[in-house]
Amino acid sequence: MKICVLGLGHIGLPTALLFAAHGADVVGVDVKQSVVDCLNHGSLPFREPGLEDLYREAEERFAARARPGTADVFLIAVPTPLDQATKVSDLSYVKKAADSIAPHLARGNLVILESTVPPGTSERVVIPRLEKKGIPIGDFLYAHCPERAIPGRTLQEMMENSRIIGGYDRDSTDRATSIYQIFVRGQIYQTDTRTAEFVKLMENTCRDVNIALANEFAQLADECGINVWEAITLANKHPRVSILNPGPGVGGHCIAIDPWFLTENSTRCRMVSTAREVNDSMPNYVLHVVRNLLAGTRDPTISIFGVAYKGNIGDTRESPAFKFIQLAENEGYVIRCHDPYVGEFPHPLVNLADAAAGSDCIVVLADHDCFRTIDPAGLRVRTKLVIDARNILDHEKWTDQGFAVRVLGDGSSVQQLPPGEVMPPAALYSTDAIRPIAPSLPPSISLLSPNGRGDFL
């Protein structure tokens, strides 16, 4: 069986290689010649745990090309970006992919769309383009099978997560199911095409709204003078409450974008767009905290630790760091960035020591595990101040070295400091928040982990 995968990005490439490693003959197609050349010369265009080994396993049955040819199954995994000006989906890549398949489509072929799209896109946009050569739907098969893998654990999740298969008709659904059963070990749920499109958007919107709630709680906690991290840990002890983690904003190619796909044709939505606004305003909030703490400092320099959109990955798509940096530079701050995971970034990336040298405020934006073990003693900052927007650092270690530590949502009041002065650690970050708050409980019941975080996710 020959499978042609269109789009060799973070979803298309791992999917293509999984099929090839499980015995299918796979042609991967990408419009970027550099991606095609890179793969045909034995290297990968991006990093993802386990992908290198999978590539070696799949190599014999995989080839990259710039254009599709004939195949039994066509799988579209191209980007569907958001037009930032209109907040409407840009379906141009999906349209081009469908147009490039049409001349090669034969009766009995199956076309799968994995790209995330607004509800109705398959029927209104993709299928009519595939029919252009004269073969009507019904003579070829079609299904929407949205991907659900999270960057950083893509391969594991692609194999183990459950899948939604939304076929145009019964035959399409069953055929697509048998194709995914080649490597998917998770449960497969069948539905129709439009429901599958809707379900995918609901999933990411649900996460976005819940993160927005956590972010709003963090700001309210700051106003109320309580530590949101402790409060969330305690609230999550309720059997039906599961609050997510506040942070400097939501990035990535999915959660920051997909909610708009759900609402782009609606006149009724308020909650979904409000959640987007809350999450998009988090870089502003972090900068607001910085601004207050650095008021009066001359030529202030900010060191950013972590520009990736989340922890332990090198992906910067839609990262809140972009907005934070632009806002900060517009206000005259000098910015120095460090991220051990990220290769390319529009702002120069330097090593940890250079990023911290002469800094007036370190701001942690990405929750990379390696930041937990940073030794603050070695950092040659000008002002010993750190804002941990992810609650990831070992705060005791930093306060022991004389740093004032401020955690996003820790409830410490945002006060104006006289020029050049640093607020004493106790006023900025109360270690009360991590005290054993119920010493009389049996030791097996741990209320807070050593740095005040619980297992929220």
State the residues that interact with ligand SAJ by CB under 6 A.
116, 147-151, 203-204, 207, 211, 244-245, 247, 250-252, 254-255, 309-310
Indicate the residue among 173 and 316 with the shorter CB distance to ligand SAJ. Answer: 316
Residue 310 is a catalytic residue: no
Spell out the residues 6+ positions from residue 100 whose beta carbon is closer than 8 angstroms to its own: 6, 29, 67, 68
Residue 370 contacts by C-beta under 8 Å, 6 or more apart in sequence?
340
Q: Which is nearer to ligand SAJ, 247 or 425 (CB)?
A: 247
Active site residue 397: no
Helix (H, G, I), strand (E, B) or coil at 341: coil
User: What's the closest the beta carbon of residue 310 comes to ligand SAJ, in angstroms?
Assistant: 3
Residues in CB range of 421: below 8 A, 6 or more apart: 296
CA 110/CA 129 separation, integer angstroms = 14
Is the distance from CB of 64 to CB of 4 less than 8 angstroms?
no
Rg (CA), the chain: 24
Q: From the candidates 4, 145, 254, 361, which is the catalytic residue?
A: 254
- Least distance (Å) from ligand SAJ to the CB of residue 444? 26
Minimum distance from CB of 254 to ligand SAJ (Å)? 3
Q: Of 14 and 167, which CB lies nearer to ligand SAJ in the complex structure? A: 14
C-alpha separations of 421 from 274, 395, 415, 417 in Å: 37, 20, 12, 6
Closest by Cα among 252, 146, 156, 158 to 202:
146
315: nearest Cα among 348, 341, 334, 294: 341
Report the side by side order of strands in the sheet with 188-192. 62-65, 25-29, 2-6, 73-76, 110-113, 141-144, 163-167, 188-192
**Closest separation between CB of residue 390 and ligand SAJ, Å?**
8
In the complex with ligand SAJ, the residue whose CB is nearer, 11 or 36, is 11
CB closer to ligand SAJ out of 59 and 203: 203
The beta-strand segments (E) located in 171-325 are: 188-192, 301-305
CB of 147 to ligand SAJ, least distance (A): 6
Listed residue (145, 195, 143) closest to 172, CA to CA? 143
Measure the CA–CA gap between 429 and 24, rounded to whole angstroms: 56
Whole-angstrom distance, CA of residue 129 vs CA of residue 146: 20
Alpha carbon distance 319, 252 (integer Å): 6
Token readout for 237 is 């002890």
* CB 96, min distance to ligand SAJ, A: 20
Closest approach of Cβ 428 to ligand SAJ, in Å? Answer: 22
The catalytic position among 32, 87, 145, 200 is 200
| Of residues 167 and 251, the one with the C-beta less far from ligand SAJ | 251
Indicate the residue among 16 and 149 with the shorter CB distance to ligand SAJ: 149
Tokens read off for 181:
């059963």
Residues annotated as catalytic are 200, 254
